[in-house]
């Protein structure tokens, strides 16, 4: 996997069910079921879907902020290095890996300690990860702030003294401090004003090039994903239903769910969205998903076979669609079973 920084295979995670009386002891609610993807080095892979589809759980499982119940996560920090089996690491090994794999959270306000100045937040990280020694700390701090578009006078201020966009810049600087290879950004702009969102997205795009980063970008907003992603994976009820290049998803969407999501974006024409039919109903509970295709209770194209059996993966080159109505490409069956 020399050109792949992150490979995820058949990832599963279930949360303990709330309400012991209702569900009984030990009952778990599946949040992620069989998610697989590759993140090519230097690219941005966007995981998209409605709230509750499991995309944030995928991110947390990769970082082992929650422990996956099954699957494989392989991470290759640098080209030529053998991949690390993230789920097989013990605590000490995981601590050593963490600097390479960093996360930017949705809400910078809650992810920054209000009692610590920017100097302490960033300085302690730079020293802890031995990026610099004490003698080189001040110029390194100023350089880090300038990379995220902040002046040196921010160093002695506290989180409450900044705007939302500036706080997210500090959160990005904190993620960059240990010199990561992969940044997982979980809805990094959804708590920001629209005018500030573009600035933060432009910042992430510039840092990706300057630092040779790869991004796993989690978002519910396809209009944002369209501007940042090289590849897109669409999730529904804990599973990926369609994945491909940005052009595959935005110009040639094949799954009815993807089409419906695209049809809901005001700037994308219905024709481009592939006759996007509006979504109906609510996302079913993951404790009792529909039989067969999980999307069938909301799908305007559902047929009898959709109730009877889950759709297989059909493949165009690099474009995977889980729908009975999509046509498989001959010769790609074997590949489809691997991702
Ligand atoms: Fe709709 Fe059937 Fe395709 Fe599922 S398999 S998305 S229910 S048409």
- Give the strands of the sheet with 239-245, arranged side by side: 101-104, 182-186, 214-219, 44-48, 231-236, 239-245, 319-322, 313-316
Encode pLDDT of 50-84 as tens digits. 988 999 999 999 999 999 999 999 999 888 888 99
Higher pLDDT, 39 or 274: 39
pLDDT at 333 over 80: no
Closest ligand 1 atom to the C-alpha of 306?
2
**Residues 172, 174, 178, 180: what is their CA dihedral angle, to the nearest 10 degrees?**
-20
Question: Residue 74 in 3-state DSSP?
Answer: strand
pLDDT at 199 over 60: yes
* Cα–Cα distance, 192 to 169 (Å, whole number): 11
Encode pLDDT of 219-258 as tens digits. 999 999 999 999 999 999 999 999 999 999 999 999 999 9
Alpha helices by DSSP H, listed for the chain, are: 20-23, 55-62, 91-97, 108-111, 118-128, 137-147, 164-176, 194-211, 222-228, 246-251, 256-263, 304-308, 333-338
Ligand 1 pocket, 311 CB below 6 A? yes
This prediction's pTM: 0.89
Ligand 1 pocket, 324 CB below 6 A? yes
Kindly state which CATH superfamily the domain 4-229 is placed in: P-loop containing nucleotide triphosphate hydrolases (3.40.50.300)
Ligand 1 pocket, 306 CB below 6 A? yes
pLDDT value, residue 336: 43
Closest ligand 1 atom to the C-alpha of 300?
1
As a whole number, the mean pLDDT across the chain is: 89
Higher pLDDT, 18 or 170: 170
Residue range 273-279: mean pLDDT, rounded: 60
pLDDT value, residue 299: 94
Which secondary structure element, helix H or strand E, spans residue 102, and what is its range? Answer: strand 101-104
* Cα–Cα distance, 13 to 127 (Å, whole number): 35
pLDDT value, residue 334: 44
Question: Residue 45 in 3-state DSSP?
Answer: strand
* Cα–Cα distance, 115 to 321 (Å, whole number): 48
Ligand 1 pocket, 321 CB below 6 A? no
pLDDT at 261 over 60: yes
> What does the domain layout of the chain look like in residue ranges?
4-229, 235-334
For ligand 1, the distance from its centroid to the CA atom of residue 214, given in whole angstroms, is 32
Ligand 1 pocket, 256 CB below 6 A? yes
Residue range 101-115: mean pLDDT, rounded: 87
For ligand 1, the distance from its centroid to the CA atom of residue 103, given in whole angstroms, is 34
Tokens at residue 215, please?
Answer: 């991004």
pLDDT value, residue 31: 94
**Closest residue by Cα to residue 179 from 81, 87, 78, 110:** 78
Ligand 1 pocket, 313 CB below 6 A? no
Encode pLDDT of 121-152 as tens digits. 999 999 999 999 999 999 999 999 999 999 99
Model confidence at 272, in pLDDT bands (50, 70, 90)?
low
The DSSP bridge pattern shows strands 239-245 and 319-322 to be antiparallel
Tokens at residue 251, please?
Answer: 């110009």
């Amino acid at each position: 996997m020399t050109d792949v920084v992150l490979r995820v295979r058949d990832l599963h995670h279930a949360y303990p069910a709330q309400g012991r009386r209702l569900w009984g002891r030990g009952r778990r609610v599946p949040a992620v079921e069989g998610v697989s993807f590759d993140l090519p080095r230097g690219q941005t892979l966007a995981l998209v879907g409605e709230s509750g589809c499991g995309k944030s759980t995928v991110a947390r499982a990769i970082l082992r902020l929650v422990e996956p119940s099954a699957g494989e996560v392989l991470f290759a920090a640098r080209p030529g290095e053998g991949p690390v089996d993230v789920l097989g690491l013990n605590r000490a090994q995981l601590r050593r890996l963490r600097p390479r794999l960093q996360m930017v959270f949705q809400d910078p306000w809650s992810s920054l300690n209000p009692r610590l100045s920017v100097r302490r937040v960033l300085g302690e990280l730079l020293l802890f990860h031995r990026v610099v020694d004490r003698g080189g700390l001040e110029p390194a701090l100023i350089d880090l702030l300038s990379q995220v578009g902040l002046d040196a006078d921010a160093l002695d201020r506290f989180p409450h003294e900044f705007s939302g966009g500036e706080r997210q810049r500090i959160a990005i600087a904190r993620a960059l401090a240990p010199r990561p290879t992969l940044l997982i950004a979980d809805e990094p702009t959804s708590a920001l004003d629209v005018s500030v969102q573009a600035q933060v997205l432009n910042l992430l795009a510039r840092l990706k090039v300057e630092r040779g980063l790869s991004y796993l970008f989690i978002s519910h907003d396809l209009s944002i994903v369209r501007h940042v992603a090289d590849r897109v994976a669409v999730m529904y009820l804990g599973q990926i239903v369609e994945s491909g290049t940005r052009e595959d998803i935005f110009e040639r969407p094949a799954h009815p769910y993807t089409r419906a999501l695209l049809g809901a974006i005001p700037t994308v024409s219905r024709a481009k969205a592939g006759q996007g039919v509006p979504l109906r109903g609510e996302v079913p509970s993951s404790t009792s998903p529909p039989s067969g295709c999980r999307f069938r209770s909301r799908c305007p194209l559902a047929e009898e076979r959709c109730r009877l059996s889950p759709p297989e993966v059909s493949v165009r080159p690099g474009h995977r669609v889980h729908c009975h109505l999509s046509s498989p490409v001959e010769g790609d069956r074997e590949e489809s079973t691997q991702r």
